[in-house]
A = this chain, B = another copy of it.
Amino acid sequence: MDRKITLAYGDGGELAHKLIQQIFVSAFGNRDASRFDASFLSLKSGEIAVTTDSFVVKPLFFPGGDIGKIAVSGTVNDLAVAGAVPLCLTAGFIIEEGFPLADLRKIVRSLADEAAGAGVEVVAGDTKVVEKGGADGVYINTTGVGLKRSEGAIDPSRIAPGDDILISGPIGDHGIAILAARGELGLMTELQSDCAPLNKMIDAVIEAGCDVKMMRDPTRGGIATTLVEIAEDFHATFELSESRLPVRDAVRGACDILGFDPMYLANEGKVVMVVAHEDTQKALNAMRTFSEGESAAVIGQVTGKGIGQLLLETPLGSKRRLHRLSGMMLPRIC
């Protein structure tokens, strides 16, 4: 094989066959290339969940992950927070002409490892090649199919005053790690992206019998945008306490310098939950048994129904209303 991808790899001919056979099929443990095209899965009757995400993160490799890892965690987490047990993923690659095969191999390996770690099979894939300048290295789409849980139905319409709002760990790591990796910070940081599949941790919370009324992964737009959306959709007032929000010093420092608010920074390995107050400790305990959830914390409460709004109590005791992220913050964060 060549050392770089040429347009001929996208043609559906001999080279495309080799590319799929040698790089993809072997990494995903599929039997043969034909299997890679469409796969069958047996299901007992039930509801399936389907979700899709394209990944265009820049740079492709960053502290704590790469585009292959984030392509798995992003889609697995979408399924898990929707209340589904991830069953399988598909992976569609758009590759720029000239992209080094060694890098492609690394990315595919990372995607395969991450999927295996999350217990999710990659069942179908596709590669397309575009001319130099037609993409920026590699873009990946992953689409996930999951089985809806029968127990622990997540139903945000049941959100009620008195419920607690929990986060599984410190916010903003991914956003700042990506910025740092782009060299746009002008400062050094040891910070790693938090990108990780959370399905096993979420399983543990549900299986502990916690009454989880809502779960979301606060990615693009950050925890503020995520909670504003839920508050508005379900006409609930959420009040967060700024002093209880876990934020790493490196993230806080970078935000101070750059004028960012960690509440609007993307996370790729965090879940925010609304939990019935009596189950809060149980949920925290379940999350804290996982490294991804060791700093899980209560960050606020549901304080009203009727008006959809997100309020933030500052350390001085005043309250301000938060809105969706508006305008541009960080493009190509995932």
Interface residues, chain A, CB within 8 Å of chain B? 6-8, 10-17, 32, 34, 37-56, 78-79, 82, 84, 88, 90-94, 123-131, 133-136, 139, 141, 143, 145, 148, 219-221, 225, 229, 233, 264, 266, 323-332
Contacts of A125 in B (CB 8 A): 52
Main secondary structure of the interface of A (DSSP, over half): mixed
Other than A16-B221, A39-B50, give 18 A-B pairs with Cβ distance below 8 A.
A7-B331, A8-B327, A10-B332, A12-B266, A15-B326, A37-B78, A38-B50, A38-B82, A43-B46, A43-B48, A50-B124, A52-B143, A54-B92, A55-B128, A56-B130, A92-B141, A130-B331, A141-B141
Do B148 and A329 touch (CB < 8 A)? no
Shortest CB–CB separation between residue A206 and chain B, in angstroms?
16
Is A233 in contact with B34, judged by CB distance below 8 angstroms?
A: yes
- Residue from B10, B45, B50, B130 in contact with A90 in the complex, judged by beta carbons closer than 8 Å: B50
The reply to whether A41 and B52 form a contact with Cβ atoms under 8 Å apart is no
Give me 6 A-to-B residue pairs in the complex whose CB atoms sit less than 8 angstroms apart, sorted by A's number.
A6-B328, A11-B330, A13-B324, A94-B94, A131-B331, A143-B143
In the bound complex, residues from chain B placing their C-beta under 8 Å from that of A266 are 12
Residues of B within 8 A of A10 (CB): 220, 331-332
What 7 A-B pairs are tightest by C-beta distance, nearest first?
A12-B220, A13-B325, A12-B221, A52-B90, A143-B143, A141-B141, A38-B51
